[in-house]
Amino acid sequence: MSSTDGSGSTFFVTTPIYYVNDVPHVGHAYTTLNADAVARWHRLLGDEVLFLTGTDEHGLKVQRAADEAGLTALDHATATSDRFRSAWEMLNISNDDFIRTTEERHHLAVQALLSKAYDNGYIYADTYEGDYCVSCEAYYVEDDLVDGNCPIHKRPVEHMVEDNYFFKLSAFADQLTEWLEADAHSIRPTGYRNEALGIVRQGLDDVSISRTSISWGIPVPWDTDHVFYVWYDALINYATAAGYGADDADFDKWWPTTHHFLGKDILRFHGVYWPAMLLAAGITDLPELHVHGFLLIGGEKMSKSGGVTAIGPAEMVDEFGVDGFRYAMLRNHSFGPDSDFSYEAIVERFNSDLANTYGNLVSRVATVVGKKCGGIGPAPDPDATLATAARTAYAEAATAWEAVQPSVALDATWRLVREANEYLAENEPWKMEAGPEVDVVMGNALEAIRIATVMATPAMPEATEIAWKRIGMPGLAAEQRLPDAAVWGGYPGGVPVEVGDPIFPRFKPAS
Ligand code: MSP
């Protein structure tokens, strides 16, 4: 699968495609940022990466939002899809593709994949009656409801009766169990794998996959009175972007290394229904899932439809800058459990890790090199004690990135930055006379900055390039290749070091 040794495998990473009935908020940004950071880490490893995000544009929920806005469904979808696209540009998200489910390429892939499942005997016609939550675009059985309301949105469900096509989910219980039990990487963290196993073990009913009551969707190719239910169209976006039905060589190249990032709210769809659909279509390579909890505000999931005011990413970028926000989001919330979103925690993180630690290290080193080394960065000492710190930091960070634990990876990286600051505090090069002794100290500090800077590019793509230039390194930090770039001794010495404005000026909240 993915490589840790820079041997250049492929790595296909996806976010959920976001509904266009809502505008982007920090909760959506959280998934996208984690996927982006992991995509960037894999590029550093030399992997060929395909990073996909996009928008989910069909279904009743979107149709209703468009009606309320007095727009056609497509015009409404286009306007909101553009808002997601620009939010991701603003956050410096490095996606290679942005898919909209209203695109022709997607219609073709959905029809191809579900026709395959139909031809294989896994889709049949029947009548469906049940309670439907429009916000989830999902049916619930009575046991799932809380006081008659949707368990997630806490809103009344709607009773619906429809002629539907059904997907024989029940036929896949054994294969799903085997996959989930045998493959520790099927769904991570493990708690979510157990949750999916629990769902399968409870028994799987066949699921309705088409609607006649709405027209805003992808027509069922063998019965055009029906459109596919939005979830069965949406999940297929991942296959569309990998080339399913359009370019077999592309699909075969990307599909075996698929990694889906998602919130726990959509685990059932991704961890049970989607793998079964793939198997029904004859695709036996199943994706790896990386599932995270909710960002909470006041104990509730941050969302617009849940009634809580969702925070827009632009407000955070105005306050903390793109990299300040990115770093704090990745570092403050461990990937997996629910986590409180807090403005104060971002301020604290920004000041402690960015202003006082990383930014301060870069400034201090540049100032001393200016004063004591004539502005030319000296080479590091091959046997420096900081070399051990760098080796440990890299090993721990690499393991954590591979396990999709960005918070742990950044913690390990910042230990190196902190040790470099302590090393300066112990040696006090600013008190030394210019000469070989101060050169060694500054060469070692510059080398620690170089290594930490490469390792921090997935979280802070802009600030790291500024630091990279300041210490006189040629090219781009993000173009370096790991693990080689983390080996002690790469700082060439003899290059100009620039003093500049603080990269992260200390944040003072407006009082
Ligand atoms: N359109 C479906 C997904 C289809 S994927 C084939 C959907 N869209 S959504 O717009 O509701 O986005 C859901 C995803 O957004 C969650 O799974 C999660 O990744 C992210 N989040 C939305 N709110 C969130 C929080 N408050 N906290 C963390 N993640 C959140 O479901």
Predicted confidence (pLDDT) per residue in 82-97, tens digit:
999 999 999 999 999 9
pLDDT of residue 128: 81
Of 234, 290, 261, residue with least CA distance to 113: 234
Tell me the CA–centroid distance for residue 87 and ligand 1, in Å. 15
Q: From the CB of residue 506, how many other CB atoms can be counted at a distance below 10 Å?
A: 12
d(CA 379, CA 99): 47
Catalytic residue among 76, 301, 333, 372: 301
Pocket of ligand 1 contains residue 17 by CB under 6 Å: yes
The whole-model pTM stands at 0.94
Quickly state the pLDDT bin for 335 (edges 50, 70, 90). Answer: very high
Pocket of ligand 1 contains residue 301 by CB under 6 Å: yes
pLDDT of residue 405: 98
Q: How big is the CA angle at 63 (ends 57 and 64), to the nearest 5 degrees?
A: 130
Q: Nearest residue CA, atom 9 of ligand 1?
A: 18
Pocket of ligand 1 contains residue 295 by CB under 6 Å: yes
Quickly state the pLDDT bin for 3 (edges 50, 70, 90). Answer: very low
pLDDT of residue 2: 40
Residue pLDDT, tens place only, 44-72: 999 999 999 999 999 888 888 899 999 99
Pocket of ligand 1 contains residue 144 by CB under 6 Å: no
Pocket of ligand 1 contains residue 30 by CB under 6 Å: yes
d(CA 185, CA 177): 14
Residue pLDDT, tens place only, 216-228: 999 999 999 999 9
Q: Is the pLDDT of residue 6 over 60?
A: no
Tell me the domains of the chain and their CATH numbers. Answer: 10-311 (3.40.50.620), 342-496 (1.10.730.10)
Residue pLDDT, tens place only, 242-285: 999 999 999 999 999 999 999 999 999 999 999 999 999 999 99
Tell me the CA–centroid distance for residue 202 and ligand 1, in Å. 25
386 φψ region: left (φ > 0), alpha (ψ -120 to 50), beta (else): alpha
Helix (H, G, I), strand (E, B) or coil at 489: coil
Is 107 tagged catalytic?
no
> Region 148-173: what's the mean pLDDT?
92
Catalytic residue among 61, 106, 136, 264: 136
Q: What is the DSSP string of 100-117?
A: ETTSHHHHHHHHHHHHHH
pLDDT of residue 477: 98
Q: Is the pLDDT of residue 307 over 60?
A: no
Of 349, 405, 314, 340, residue with least CA distance to 87: 314
Q: What mean pLDDT is reported for the chain? A: 94
Tell me the CA–centroid distance for residue 462 and ligand 1, in Å. 27
pLDDT of residue 165: 96
Q: Nearest residue CA, atom 28 of ligand 1?
A: 294
Q: For a pocket test of ligand 1, which of 13, 18, 192, 291 has the largest count of ligand atoms closer than 8 A to its C-beta?
A: 18
Is 304 tagged catalytic?
yes
Pocket of ligand 1 contains residue 19 by CB under 6 Å: yes
Quickly state the pLDDT bin for 511 (edges 50, 70, 90). Answer: low
> Region 124-152: what's the mean pLDDT?
87
Pocket of ligand 1 contains residue 56 by CB under 6 Å: yes
Helix (H, G, I), strand (E, B) or coil at 379: coil
Q: Is the pLDDT of residue 38 over 70?
A: yes
Pocket of ligand 1 contains residue 291 by CB under 6 Å: no
> Region 404-416: what's the mean pLDDT?
98
Q: Is the pLDDT of residue 188 over 80?
A: yes
For residues 6 and 212, the model is more confident at 212
Is 150 tagged catalytic?
yes
**Do residues 54 and 100 lie in contact, with contact meaning Cβ atoms separated by under 8 Å?**
yes
Strands 495-496 and 376-377: antiparallel
